Amino acid sequence: MDAEEKALKKLEQRLYRYIKEYKFRRKDIDEREVEEEVFDENTLKTLYELSNEGIIAELYGVVAAGKESRVYGGVTEDGEPIAIKIFLITTAEFRKGRMKYILGDPRFEEVGRSIHKIIYLWAQKEYRNLKAAYEAGVYVPRPIAFKNNILVMEFIGDEFQPAPTLKEYKRITPHMLYQILRQIYLLYNKAELIHTDLSEYNIFYYKRKPIIFDFGQAVSIKHPMAETFLTRDISNILNFFRNRGIDISLTVEDVLEYIKG
Ligand SMILES: Nc1ncnc2c1ncn2[C@@H]1O[C@H](COP(=O)(O)OP(=O)(O)O)[C@@H](O)[C@H]1O
Ligand SMILES: [Mg+2]
Protein backbone atom coordinates (compact mmCIF):
# COMPACT_ATOMS: atom_id res chain seq x y z
CA MET A 1 0.00 0.00 0.00
CA ASP A 2 1.43 3.37 -0.90
CA ALA A 3 1.10 6.44 1.29
CA GLU A 4 -1.93 7.71 -0.53
CA GLU A 5 -3.81 4.44 -0.22
CA LYS A 6 -2.91 4.29 3.44
CA ALA A 7 -4.23 7.76 4.05
CA LEU A 8 -7.44 6.89 2.26
CA LYS A 9 -7.82 3.69 4.21
CA LYS A 10 -7.37 5.66 7.41
CA LEU A 11 -9.96 8.19 6.42
CA GLU A 12 -12.33 5.44 5.41
CA GLN A 13 -11.95 3.66 8.73
CA ARG A 14 -12.57 6.90 10.53
CA LEU A 15 -15.65 7.57 8.48
CA TYR A 16 -17.12 4.17 9.10
CA ARG A 17 -16.30 4.27 12.80
CA TYR A 18 -18.01 7.59 12.88
CA ILE A 19 -21.07 6.32 11.09
CA LYS A 20 -21.30 3.44 13.57
CA GLU A 21 -21.02 5.72 16.58
CA TYR A 22 -23.52 8.05 15.10
CA LYS A 23 -26.03 5.30 14.52
CA PHE A 24 -25.48 4.06 18.00
CA ARG A 25 -26.36 7.40 19.45
CA ARG A 26 -29.46 7.75 17.35
CA LYS A 27 -30.91 4.27 17.60
CA ASP A 28 -34.32 5.77 18.08
CA ILE A 29 -34.68 6.50 14.41
CA ASP A 30 -34.80 4.20 11.43
CA GLU A 31 -31.28 2.87 10.75
CA ARG A 32 -31.56 2.99 7.01
CA GLU A 33 -32.47 6.61 7.16
CA VAL A 34 -29.55 7.43 9.44
CA GLU A 35 -27.12 5.74 7.15
CA GLU A 36 -28.38 7.71 4.22
CA GLU A 37 -28.56 10.89 6.18
CA VAL A 38 -24.96 10.70 7.26
CA PHE A 39 -22.93 9.76 4.23
CA ASP A 40 -24.53 8.54 1.07
CA GLU A 41 -22.27 7.05 -1.56
CA ASN A 42 -21.81 10.32 -3.45
CA THR A 43 -20.86 12.15 -0.29
CA LEU A 44 -18.33 9.47 0.63
CA LYS A 45 -16.83 9.72 -2.83
CA THR A 46 -16.63 13.47 -2.57
CA LEU A 47 -14.96 13.19 0.85
CA TYR A 48 -12.37 10.84 -0.66
CA GLU A 49 -11.70 13.28 -3.46
CA LEU A 50 -11.24 16.15 -1.03
CA SER A 51 -8.92 13.97 1.01
CA ASN A 52 -6.89 13.13 -2.10
CA GLU A 53 -6.49 16.83 -2.67
CA GLY A 54 -5.17 17.28 0.86
CA ILE A 55 -8.09 19.49 1.78
CA ILE A 56 -9.48 17.05 4.31
CA ALA A 57 -6.75 15.06 6.02
CA GLU A 58 -8.83 14.09 9.04
CA LEU A 59 -12.50 14.17 9.79
CA TYR A 60 -13.76 14.27 13.35
CA GLY A 61 -17.25 14.13 14.74
CA VAL A 62 -20.25 16.20 13.93
CA VAL A 63 -20.34 19.60 15.59
CA ALA A 64 -23.82 20.55 14.48
CA ALA A 65 -26.72 18.81 12.81
CA GLY A 66 -29.38 20.83 11.09
CA LYS A 67 -32.28 19.88 8.90
CA GLU A 68 -30.42 20.44 5.66
CA SER A 69 -26.80 20.10 6.60
CA ARG A 70 -24.34 18.63 9.04
CA VAL A 71 -21.16 20.35 10.09
CA TYR A 72 -18.09 18.30 11.02
CA GLY A 73 -14.74 19.24 12.46
CA GLY A 74 -11.54 18.23 10.71
CA VAL A 75 -8.08 19.28 9.68
CA THR A 76 -6.35 19.92 6.37
CA GLU A 77 -3.11 18.31 5.35
CA ASP A 78 -1.37 21.35 6.84
CA GLY A 79 -3.11 20.80 10.17
CA GLU A 80 -5.44 23.74 9.81
CA PRO A 81 -8.73 23.19 11.69
CA ILE A 82 -11.65 23.16 9.29
CA ALA A 83 -15.40 23.02 9.39
CA ILE A 84 -16.86 20.65 6.80
CA LYS A 85 -20.44 21.51 5.94
CA ILE A 86 -22.22 18.66 4.19
CA PHE A 87 -25.51 19.46 2.54
CA LEU A 88 -27.81 16.50 2.94
CA ILE A 89 -29.32 15.05 -0.15
CA THR A 90 -32.00 12.91 1.37
CA THR A 91 -33.00 14.38 4.67
CA ALA A 92 -35.87 13.10 6.71
CA GLU A 93 -37.64 16.36 6.08
CA PHE A 94 -37.29 15.89 2.39
CA ARG A 95 -38.50 12.32 2.53
CA LYS A 96 -41.64 13.18 4.41
CA GLY A 97 -43.11 14.60 1.26
CA ARG A 98 -43.76 12.88 -1.99
CA MET A 99 -40.07 12.83 -2.82
CA LYS A 100 -39.62 9.49 -1.11
CA TYR A 101 -41.76 7.91 -3.80
CA ILE A 102 -39.69 9.44 -6.52
CA LEU A 103 -36.14 9.03 -5.24
CA GLY A 104 -35.18 5.41 -5.52
CA ASP A 105 -37.61 4.71 -8.33
CA PRO A 106 -35.43 4.04 -11.37
CA ARG A 107 -38.01 5.64 -13.66
CA PHE A 108 -37.27 8.97 -12.04
CA GLU A 109 -33.50 8.93 -12.14
CA GLU A 110 -33.50 12.29 -13.86
CA VAL A 111 -35.32 13.87 -10.94
CA GLY A 112 -32.73 12.40 -8.58
CA ARG A 113 -29.96 13.87 -10.68
CA SER A 114 -31.48 17.32 -10.74
CA ILE A 115 -31.98 17.25 -6.98
CA HIS A 116 -28.28 16.50 -6.65
CA LYS A 117 -27.52 19.39 -8.95
CA ILE A 118 -29.63 21.81 -6.93
CA ILE A 119 -27.94 20.78 -3.71
CA TYR A 120 -24.51 21.07 -5.32
CA LEU A 121 -25.48 24.58 -6.34
CA TRP A 122 -26.20 25.40 -2.70
CA ALA A 123 -22.72 24.43 -1.60
CA GLN A 124 -21.26 26.40 -4.49
CA LYS A 125 -23.43 29.41 -3.72
CA GLU A 126 -22.48 29.43 -0.06
CA TYR A 127 -18.81 29.15 -1.01
CA ARG A 128 -19.04 32.03 -3.46
CA ASN A 129 -20.90 34.25 -1.04
CA LEU A 130 -18.38 33.49 1.69
CA LYS A 131 -15.54 34.24 -0.69
CA ALA A 132 -17.00 37.58 -1.74
CA ALA A 133 -17.62 38.52 1.90
CA TYR A 134 -14.15 37.39 2.95
CA GLU A 135 -12.49 39.36 0.19
CA ALA A 136 -14.52 42.42 1.13
CA GLY A 137 -13.00 42.23 4.60
CA VAL A 138 -16.15 41.04 6.39
CA TYR A 139 -15.45 38.78 9.37
CA VAL A 140 -16.53 35.37 8.07
CA PRO A 141 -14.99 31.87 8.20
CA ARG A 142 -12.38 31.78 5.44
CA PRO A 143 -13.72 29.62 2.61
CA ILE A 144 -11.31 26.85 1.62
CA ALA A 145 -13.03 24.66 -0.97
CA PHE A 146 -16.28 23.24 -2.20
CA LYS A 147 -17.03 20.10 -4.12
CA ASN A 148 -20.47 18.72 -4.93
CA ASN A 149 -22.48 18.94 -1.69
CA ILE A 150 -19.50 19.71 0.57
CA LEU A 151 -18.21 23.09 1.69
CA VAL A 152 -14.91 23.39 3.56
CA MET A 153 -14.06 26.49 5.57
CA GLU A 154 -11.97 27.71 8.45
CA PHE A 155 -13.08 26.31 11.81
CA ILE A 156 -14.23 29.05 14.18
CA GLY A 157 -13.69 27.93 17.78
CA ASP A 158 -11.29 25.88 19.86
CA GLU A 159 -10.57 22.17 19.73
CA PHE A 160 -13.61 21.47 17.61
CA GLN A 161 -15.96 23.21 19.93
CA PRO A 162 -17.60 25.87 17.77
CA ALA A 163 -17.30 29.39 19.15
CA PRO A 164 -20.41 30.66 20.95
CA THR A 165 -22.99 32.27 18.75
CA LEU A 166 -24.34 35.63 19.79
CA LYS A 167 -27.39 33.75 21.08
CA GLU A 168 -25.16 31.77 23.44
CA TYR A 169 -22.95 34.66 24.46
CA LYS A 170 -23.41 35.92 28.00
CA ARG A 171 -21.96 39.41 27.99
CA ILE A 172 -23.65 41.37 25.25
CA THR A 173 -22.41 44.96 24.93
CA PRO A 174 -23.37 47.94 22.78
CA HIS A 175 -19.92 47.71 21.19
CA MET A 176 -20.89 44.35 19.67
CA LEU A 177 -23.85 45.98 17.99
CA TYR A 178 -21.63 48.57 16.36
CA GLN A 179 -19.22 45.85 15.26
CA ILE A 180 -22.07 43.91 13.65
CA LEU A 181 -23.55 46.93 11.91
CA ARG A 182 -20.09 47.59 10.50
CA GLN A 183 -20.05 44.03 9.09
CA ILE A 184 -23.45 44.56 7.48
CA TYR A 185 -22.11 47.81 6.02
CA LEU A 186 -19.07 46.09 4.52
CA LEU A 187 -21.14 43.19 3.27
CA TYR A 188 -23.53 45.56 1.53
CA ASN A 189 -21.09 48.09 0.18
CA LYS A 190 -17.98 46.02 -0.54
CA ALA A 191 -19.30 42.53 -1.24
CA GLU A 192 -22.64 43.84 -2.53
CA LEU A 193 -24.47 41.12 -0.65
CA ILE A 194 -27.30 40.86 1.84
CA HIS A 195 -27.18 37.91 4.22
CA THR A 196 -31.02 37.51 4.41
CA ASP A 197 -30.93 35.12 7.37
CA LEU A 198 -28.99 37.28 9.78
CA SER A 199 -29.72 36.72 13.45
CA GLU A 200 -28.04 35.86 16.75
CA TYR A 201 -27.94 32.23 15.52
CA ASN A 202 -25.71 32.93 12.52
CA ILE A 203 -23.09 35.11 14.18
CA PHE A 204 -20.21 33.76 16.27
CA TYR A 205 -18.57 35.99 18.79
CA TYR A 206 -14.97 34.94 18.96
CA LYS A 207 -11.75 36.70 19.90
CA ARG A 208 -13.69 39.92 20.28
CA LYS A 209 -15.08 39.82 16.80
CA PRO A 210 -18.51 39.04 15.40
CA ILE A 211 -18.05 36.41 12.71
CA ILE A 212 -21.00 36.00 10.39
CA PHE A 213 -21.68 32.57 8.86
CA ASP A 214 -24.32 30.49 7.04
CA PHE A 215 -24.26 32.36 3.73
CA GLY A 216 -26.14 29.88 1.57
CA GLN A 217 -29.14 32.13 1.07
CA ALA A 218 -27.33 35.48 0.76
CA VAL A 219 -28.38 37.56 -2.26
CA SER A 220 -27.02 40.37 -4.37
CA ILE A 221 -28.00 43.91 -3.39
CA LYS A 222 -29.68 44.04 -6.81
CA HIS A 223 -32.19 41.35 -5.87
CA PRO A 224 -35.79 42.64 -6.27
CA MET A 225 -36.43 41.92 -2.58
CA ALA A 226 -33.15 43.46 -1.42
CA GLU A 227 -34.73 46.21 0.64
CA THR A 228 -37.06 43.82 2.45
CA PHE A 229 -34.24 41.40 3.23
CA LEU A 230 -31.90 44.10 4.46
CA THR A 231 -34.61 45.61 6.64
CA ARG A 232 -35.36 42.22 8.15
CA ASP A 233 -31.67 41.50 8.86
CA ILE A 234 -31.29 44.83 10.60
CA SER A 235 -34.48 44.44 12.66
CA ASN A 236 -33.41 40.98 13.80
CA ILE A 237 -30.15 42.41 15.09
CA LEU A 238 -31.68 45.49 16.73
CA ASN A 239 -34.37 43.35 18.38
CA PHE A 240 -31.79 40.93 19.72
CA PHE A 241 -29.83 43.72 21.38
CA ARG A 242 -32.95 45.36 22.68
CA ASN A 243 -34.14 42.08 24.21
CA ARG A 244 -30.77 41.68 25.87
CA GLY A 245 -31.28 44.97 27.60
CA ILE A 246 -29.09 47.13 25.41
CA ASP A 247 -30.76 50.49 25.29
CA ILE A 248 -30.58 51.53 21.65
CA SER A 249 -31.90 54.74 20.31
CA LEU A 250 -31.15 53.51 16.77
CA THR A 251 -34.09 52.74 14.53
CA VAL A 252 -34.08 50.45 11.49
CA GLU A 253 -34.29 53.61 9.35
CA ASP A 254 -31.17 55.05 11.00
CA VAL A 255 -29.26 51.88 10.24
CA LEU A 256 -30.58 51.69 6.67
CA GLU A 257 -29.33 55.23 6.15
CA TYR A 258 -25.93 54.35 7.58
CA ILE A 259 -25.65 51.33 5.31
CA LYS A 260 -27.08 52.73 2.12
CA GLY A 261 -25.64 56.20 2.68
N1 LIG B 1 -16.90 27.65 10.28
C2 LIG B 1 -17.42 27.03 11.33
N3 LIG B 1 -16.67 26.74 12.41
C4 LIG B 1 -17.18 26.10 13.49
N5 LIG B 1 -18.46 25.69 13.57
C6 LIG B 1 -19.27 25.93 12.53
C7 LIG B 1 -18.80 26.63 11.37
N8 LIG B 1 -19.84 26.75 10.51
C9 LIG B 1 -20.89 26.19 11.11
N10 LIG B 1 -20.57 25.69 12.33
C11 LIG B 1 -21.47 25.02 13.30
O12 LIG B 1 -22.56 24.48 12.61
C13 LIG B 1 -23.79 25.12 13.01
C14 LIG B 1 -24.71 25.25 11.82
O15 LIG B 1 -24.07 25.96 10.76
P16 LIG B 1 -24.89 26.77 9.70
O17 LIG B 1 -23.96 27.19 8.63
O18 LIG B 1 -25.67 27.86 10.39
O19 LIG B 1 -25.87 25.65 9.14
P20 LIG B 1 -27.45 25.67 8.91
O21 LIG B 1 -27.60 26.06 7.48
O22 LIG B 1 -27.85 24.27 9.20
O23 LIG B 1 -28.07 26.69 9.84
C24 LIG B 1 -23.34 26.42 13.64
O25 LIG B 1 -24.27 26.91 14.57
C26 LIG B 1 -22.03 26.02 14.30
O27 LIG B 1 -22.27 25.37 15.52
MG1 LIG C 1 -27.57 28.58 10.56
Nearest CA to ligand 1 atom 22: 66
Distance CA 117, CA 29 (A): 28
Residue 256 alpha carbon to ligand 1 centre in Å:
27
Are 193 and 259 within 8 A, CB to CB?
A: no
- Is 40 annotated in the active site? no
Taking Cα atoms as reference points, which of 37, 34, 35, 55 lies closest to residue 46? 55
Query: What distance in Å separates the CA atoms of residue 161 and residue 186, rounded to the nearest whole number?
Result: 28
Q: Which atom of ligand 1 is nearest to the CA of 201?
A: 25
Q: C-alpha angle 188/179/128, rounded to 5°? A: 40
In the prediction, which pLDDT does 9 show? 66
Residue nearest to atom 19 of ligand 1 (CA): 214
What Rg, from alpha-carbon coordinates, does the chain have?
A: 20
Within 13 A of 199's CA, how many CA atoms are on the CB side? 9
Q: Measured from the CA of 71, which atom of ligand 1 is nearest?
A: 12
Of all residues in the chain, the percent with pLDDT exceeding 70 is: 82
Binding site membership of 233 for ligand 1 (Cβ less than 6 Å): no
**Considering 214, 233, 247, 254, which one is annotated as catalytic?**
214
Ligand 1 atom nearest 69 alpha carbon: 22
Give CA torsion, residues 240, 142, 194, 169, to 10 deg.
0
Give the DSSP per-residue string, 137-170.
T---PPEEEEETTEEEEE--EETTEEPPBTTT-S
What is the per-residue pLDDT across 38-93, written as a single tens digit (0 to 9) for each?
577 788 889 989 988 999 998 888 899 877 899 999 999 999 999 999 998 765 55
Mean pLDDT for all residues in the chain: 86
Active site residue 28: no
Q: Which domains does the chain have, with CATH numbers?
A: 3-158 (3.30.200.20), 163-260 (1.10.510.10)
Q: Which ligand is nearest to the CA of 217?
A: 1
Among the listed residues 209, 216, 175, the one whose alpha carbon sits nearest the alpha carbon of residue 193: 216
Predicted confidence (pLDDT) per residue in 153-199, tens digit: 999 999 889 999 999 999 999 999 999 999 999 999 999 999 999 99
Contact between 216 and 223 under an 8 Å Cβ cutoff? The reply is no
pLDDT in tens, 84-118: 999 987 655 555 666 767 777 778 777 777 888 88
Q: Each residue of 112-158: pLDDT tens digit?
A: 778 888 899 999 999 999 999 999 999 999 999 999 999 999 999 99
Q: Supply the pTM of this predicted model.
A: 0.85
Long-range CB contact pairs, 30-35, < 8 A, 24+: 33/92, 33/95
* 63 CB near ligand 1 (under 6 Å): yes
Residue 162 Cβ < 6 Å to ligand 1: yes
- For ligand 1, atom 17: residue with the closest CA: 214
The closest residue, in CA terms, to atom 16 on ligand 1 is 214
Residue of 62, 63, 212 to test ligand 1 pocket, by largest number of atoms within 8 Å of CB: 63
Q: Is the CB of 71 under 6 A from ligand 1?
A: yes
Residue among 121, 96, 99, 112 at smallest CA distance from 41: 112
Task: Please give the pLDDT value at position 33.
Answer: 41
Ligand nearest to the CA of 213: 1
Q: For 154, phi and psi rounded to 5 degrees?
A: -55, 140
